[in-house]
Structure 1
Amino acid sequence: MTTTEDFTRQGPIPDNLVEDLTGVNAFTGDAVAAQVVATAAPWARGRAAELGARVWDPRVLETARNAQRHTPELRPLDRLGHEVFDVEFHPSYHELMALAFGSGVHSLAWTADAPGAHSARAVLSYLWNQVDGSTACPTGMAYASIPILRSQPELAPWADKIVVEGYDPADVPVTGKSAATVGYFMTEKHGGSDLRANVTVARPTGRRGPGETYLVNGHKWFASVPMADCYLTVARTEGGVSCLFVPRRRADGTLNGIRVNRLKDKLGNRANASSEIEYHDAEAVLVGEEGRGVRTILSSAEYTRLDFAIGSAGLMRAALSQALHHNDRRTAFGSRLSALPIQAPVLADLALEWAGAAHLGFRLARAEDHHDDVSEALVSRLLTPVAKYWNCRRVSAVTEEVIQSIGGNAYIEEHPCPRYYREAPLNAIWEGTSNMMVADVGRVLTREPKALEPVLDGIRPAASEHPLLATALAEIEELAAAPEDTARYLVTRLALAAQAALLVEHAPSVVAEAFVASRLGTGWGPGFGTLRGVDFEAVIDFARLR
């Protein structure tokens, strides 16, 4: 008689189980990220490798999972009934914040006096988004806030605390802290993306003008990271919609007229405390001139949108790494799953999607490294909304297909994939929805048509070698003359052409040619796995972590 114990000790079943992905470095094993640092910022290799070693660390993976399972809780009153509006986090959240901020994910671009600082910081963000999306929100906001804070002399001490490579969760005035965090409180319930429709008001306590004190009254419908030490917000002043800086606490330690009404129960990004707040005579500092608040706030959107494009590529990378790890180690019908004729095209297709997204995101970071160059500034202005639109749209499709490629095991909460799947749609919503990005591209092409030329110049060398890319280039030039007529199609073609050209320049020819043929040709379907005439194994091998 064969017992259960005997059965589990013999036969092929245990050998066909796939253990967790661990023991690889997400930076040194990543062909794209390693190439970016080697080319743009070799001085950052050690730092990137150190963070890369933590991405697939079992301890870090468990911490990220726990942070999402044990969500933050709002405590409006203390034991004696005093208003505190405290948000209590699970210890795992603080562990993640300490690792992210301690690694410089939020600030390296502004603290490293070395070439390629934005590219190096983008690689750190790319790696961090493979760990956790919830804490990538505060790191991204910190990254974007520094130019605004440094532009106002009165706020320079705050900028100095925010760029510190460290994390201090104490809810006390910033003078008593070793490091600080920042949030962005802009959206109101009736206005959504239209910041000019906001009704929150700000009135000066004395003199008007930049650096002066105002009192803010109103509400914000989406206020992420309410436990941050300070917030950038917009409110109506006599001169129009303006940007203001609001500390969470006054110098005497009291709450600065801020009430947290409730926390949002979100689909994903659950460890991040997104809230609804009210201002009641909150003391604030005017940033820039009255009436220029939307322009001031949106000046930082260049960085937050870049970060979402990079973050989406990182999320694709995390999902793809899981798919390749599983499919290379599990067998069916006598072969590895990754070698099966029905599975190899899917994995190769996913690899192409990741490679295009990663190169496009890192191209934006390179433009920031050379922002004093007029052509690079124009590239950033046009390609940022393009990349934000396309990368953030595609990441949801990638995470869903990865779950399919692994099967039921990837649908279980103990696996990282459910976290990726819930996180992915948010990237296309925050910092401007898909329609906002498409509209922004249209505005650039209408108001700054010269921005198109340096983008096309970057595509032309590759187009001279690839007829499909040359055809796409000609089509883009024609469509750009009336961008409002073919808005989403134009942005899609721009994204794919830019990705294709970058892959021709930087990736192995087998990868670049497969991307051009599939994304710009006619033989590729809307889903994954319809590639034809491609060396699937070579493309998959390019994407494997080493």
Structure 2
Amino acid sequence: MALEQQLQNQVPDLMGDDLFGEDPALQHWQSQLACQEARQSLADYGQKLGSAYWREQGALANRQPPQWRGWSAQGERIDHVDFHPAWHHLLSLGMEQGLHIWPHQPQPGQHLLRAMGFYLHGQIEAGTLCPLTMTRAAAPLLQSDPFQEWAARLDINQYDSSSQQMVEKSSVLLGMGMTERQGGSDLRGCTTEAHPDGQAFRVYGHKWFLSVPQADGHLVLAREHEQFSCFLMPRYTEDSLNRRYIRRLKDKLGNRSNASAEIDFDGALAWRVGQAGRGIALLAAMAARTRIDCVLGSAALMRQALVQSLHYCRHRRCFGKQLIDQPMMQAVLLDMSLESEAATHLALFLVDLQERANDPVAQSVLRVLAPAAKFWVCRRAIALCAEAMETWGGNGYIEDGPMPRLLREAPVNSIWEGSGNVMCLDVQRALSQEGVLEALQADLRARTGDDAELGQAAQEVLSAVSQAGGRVWTQKLLTLYQSCLMRQVAPDAVADLFTTHRLQQGPAAVFGLEGVEQACWYLHRSWPRLQAS
């Protein structure tokens, strides 16, 4: 059989797509950016990331995961983590875009600009998001006098991969270490201890999960005289590797490009950050910032899974039609497109709340919605990525394509920084704080306005507030907010479809909205490239 015949009905790799310009949700949110230069920066980044080169870099970084080298050829302890060069290229790209920078005097739209870049980056490679988000989330904790040299290097847009002490580097990356083998999410089970040593401390103990072990410094939780304090632990001291020793790298289901380690502390040098006894509160504030990035990262995976499905179904022919023209496949793709768009709007809405740092109502609403969104959106990403894999049939299960990596990547955001039950308990805690429930009620009244359907749903959610923090209640709150956002920013037909199938009926166990007229219009709007076919 001729080679040409063997290759019939095969789908080409997706490349050269415009991640920014072809995303309807981003087109709404970019209008919030007053600066044309900022909008152009996002447009350029989206086009660059969609190229064949950067897609291949993302695949390479995951195909060859990091390796730990504990000792040099001479027997010296080095604890070096070797990465594929693609990892360094992608991390450098993200830092050039400023994805690791926390603006200390933010201009309007600055958080939003960074969030959209983070979302674009996460569609091509998710592992490099970890050091970027850790560094950014830690930065506000290091603005006091003892850490000025660190703080100055956190704002540099140039990646420095060298392994040396902080003062010899142009820029630095940070990680975090809280979880221990016996405690998990219960941070009060921490047994690691810090003992004074002049102006510094010596830390003894371990961490079961240490993010970004190759980072230049880590914020670590440790006991100090029966109090829990936060400490900055450098990777290198003035003359040697600090006394923090990698035990092994974790062999993870997904997030393969990124290193996570078990680590021991044997008198490791560290400096206290903030007041004694404030460690859990400080690291919880850092975690709150990373949770928003978890939602953004999951929305990014959902968007990429959707686009890969649309691309495949546009090119693949089955039972006499293109897959995308088969009614049942249209129903699945349409449902996925609604889920993806609503997730993106919600993620960027959280960032919009974050922008309004001086608005107490916005901050109270954010305190509830950030853990709630992490619970719901990150969980939905797992289901959507699994459904997207099925749209490819058997080809979706093969490692040559993008779908296995997307599916493996999806669970990490649901688990990292607190799994589902922990998030729901955090929602409960937030609503128990003074003024938070009242702020949520006021915000929902303003958002539902005269819309009878949304108003009724809000009344039902708020009347069941005694169940607040339960998984079902949290899901209902999130779908209500997503419905409000879709009503605000999406075309009426799209918003109607979402509210009918999510708010009224509740999310189904399977994807598929059958019997929807003009399904092609919805799909073309989701990914305008389809209109060229």
1:112-151 alignment to 2 at 5 Å? Answer: 114-150=107-143
**Residue 36 of structure 1, CA deviation:** 1.0
Partner of 2:372: 386
Alignment deviations for residues 171-190 of structure 1 (CA, whole Å, 9 cap, x no partner): 00111111111110111000
Residue identity (%)? 37
Q: Does 1:158 align with 2:158?
A: no
Q: Which amino acid aligns with 2:146?
A: E
Q: Assess if the C-alpha contact under 8 Å between 1:238 and 1:290 holds in 2.
A: no
For residues 492 and 360 of structure 1, the distance between their equivalents in structure 2, rounded to whole angstroms, comes to 13
Greater CA deviation, 427-436 or 334-343? 334-343
Q: Assess if the C-alpha contact under 8 Å between 1:356 and 1:503 holds in 2.
A: yes
Partner of 1:240: 227
Q: Assess if the C-alpha contact under 8 Å between 2:424 and 2:474 holds in 1.
A: yes
User: Which consecutive unaligned segments of at least 5 residues does structure 2 have?
Assistant: none
Partner of 2:208: 221
**Residue 119 of structure 1, CA deviation:** 0.7
**Residue 54 of structure 1, CA deviation:** 2.4
1:49-68 alignment to 2 at 5 Å? Answer: 49-68=43-62
Q: Assess if the C-alpha contact under 8 Å between 1:111 and 1:163 holds in 2.
A: no
**Residue 540 of structure 1, CA deviation:** 1.5
Q: Does 1:176 align with 2:168?
A: yes
Pair 1:451–1:542, CA change in 2 (3 A): farther
**Residue 85 of structure 1, CA deviation:** 0.9
Q: Which amino acid aligns with 1:226?
A: P
Q: Assess if the C-alpha contact under 8 Å between 1:518 and 1:531 holds in 2.
A: no
Q: CA RMSD in A?
A: 1.8
For residues 327 and 179 of structure 2, the distance between their equivalents in structure 1, rounded to whole angstroms, comes to 49
1:318-357 alignment to 2 at 5 Å? Answer: 318-357=304-343
**Residue 481 of structure 1, CA deviation:** 3.2
**Residue 469 of structure 1, CA deviation:** 2.5
1:294-305 alignment to 2 at 5 Å? Answer: 294-305=280-291
**Residue 111 of structure 1, CA deviation:** 6.9
Q: Assess if the C-alpha contact under 8 Å between 1:28 and 1:52 holds in 2.
A: yes
For residues 133 and 466 of structure 1, the distance between their equivalents in structure 2, rounded to whole angstroms, comes to 38
* SS of match in other structure, 1:216: strand
* SS of match in other structure, 2:221: strand
Q: Which amino acid aligns with 1:205?
A: D
Partner of 2:437: 452
Q: Assess if the C-alpha contact under 8 Å between 1:71 and 1:90 holds in 2.
A: yes
Alignment deviations for residues 201-222 of structure 1 (CA, whole Å, 9 cap, x no partner): 001113xxxxx41111110000
**Residue 319 of structure 1, CA deviation:** 0.6
* SS of match in other structure, 2:327: coil
Partner of 1:511: 494
Q: Assess if the C-alpha contact under 8 Å between 1:349 and 1:531 holds in 2.
A: no
Q: Assess if the C-alpha contact under 8 Å between 1:352 and 1:539 holds in 2.
A: no
Partner of 2:159: 167
For residues 9 and 227 of structure 1, the distance between their equivalents in structure 2, rounded to whole angstroms, comes to 48
Pair 1:41–1:402, CA change in 2 (3 A): farther
Q: Assess if the C-alpha contact under 8 Å between 2:104 and 2:140 holds in 1.
A: no
**Residue 524 of structure 1, CA deviation:** 6.0
Pair 1:112–1:55, CA change in 2 (3 A): farther
Pair 1:465–1:319, CA change in 2 (3 A): farther
Q: Which amino acid aligns with 1:510?
A: A
Alignment deviations for residues 233-287 of structure 1 (CA, whole Å, 9 cap, x no partner): 00000150110000100123x0111100101101011111111001111111101
* SS of match in other structure, 1:165: coil
Pair 1:459–1:508, CA change in 2 (3 A): farther
For residues 368 and 342 of structure 1, the distance between their equivalents in structure 2, rounded to whole angstroms, comes to 40
User: Which consecutive unaligned segments of at least 5 residues does structure 1 have?
Assistant: 207-211
- The match for 1:106 among 90, 93, 100 is 100
Q: Does 1:90 align with 2:84?
A: yes
Partner of 1:477: 462
For residues 506 and 356 of structure 2, the distance between their equivalents in structure 1, rounded to whole angstroms, comes to 38
Alignment TM-score, normalising by the size of structure 2? 0.95
- The match for 1:283 among 246, 256, 269 is 269
Q: Assess if the C-alpha contact under 8 Å between 1:321 and 1:545 holds in 2.
A: no
For residues 437 and 300 of structure 1, the distance between their equivalents in structure 2, rounded to whole angstroms, comes to 15
Q: Assess if the C-alpha contact under 8 Å between 1:168 and 1:178 holds in 2.
A: yes
Q: Assess if the C-alpha contact under 8 Å between 2:243 and 2:269 holds in 1.
A: yes
Q: Which amino acid aligns with 2:98?
A: G
Q: Which amino acid aligns with 1:471?
A: Q
Q: Assess if the C-alpha contact under 8 Å between 1:67 and 1:90 holds in 2.
A: yes
Alignment TM-score, normalising by the size of structure 1? 0.93
- The match for 1:409 among 395, 401, 408 is 395
Q: Does 1:17 align with 2:3?
A: no
Alignment deviations for residues 369-405 of structure 1 (CA, whole Å, 9 cap, x no partner): 1111111111211111111111111000010000111
Q: Which amino acid aligns with 1:181?
A: L
**Residue 470 of structure 1, CA deviation:** 2.5
Q: Does 1:80 align with 2:74?
A: yes
Greater CA deviation, 464-473 or 270-279? 464-473
Partner of 1:492: 475
User: Number of residues paired by the alignment?
Assistant: 528
Q: Assess if the C-alpha contact under 8 Å between 1:119 and 1:366 holds in 2.
A: yes
Partner of 1:249: 236
Q: Assess if the C-alpha contact under 8 Å between 1:524 and 1:530 holds in 2.
A: no
Q: Assess if the C-alpha contact under 8 Å between 2:296 and 2:344 holds in 1.
A: yes
Q: Does 1:310 align with 2:287?
A: no
Q: Which amino acid aligns with 2:309?
A: A
Alignment deviations for residues 304-351 of structure 1 (CA, whole Å, 9 cap, x no partner): 000001111011011111011111222333433222111111101001
**Residue 416 of structure 1, CA deviation:** 1.1
Alignment deviations for residues 78-120 of structure 1 (CA, whole Å, 9 cap, x no partner): 001011111111112111111111221211x417853111111
For residues 363 and 106 of structure 2, the distance between their equivalents in structure 1, rounded to whole angstroms, comes to 20
Greater CA deviation, 350-359 or 374-383? 374-383
- The match for 2:65 among 54, 57, 71 is 71
For residues 410 and 199 of structure 1, the distance between their equivalents in structure 2, rounded to whole angstroms, comes to 44
Partner of 1:209: none
For residues 440 and 487 of structure 2, the distance between their equivalents in structure 1, rounded to whole angstroms, comes to 15
**Residue 159 of structure 1, CA deviation:** 1.9
For residues 344 and 383 of structure 2, the distance between their equivalents in structure 1, rounded to whole angstroms, comes to 16
* SS of match in other structure, 2:328: coil
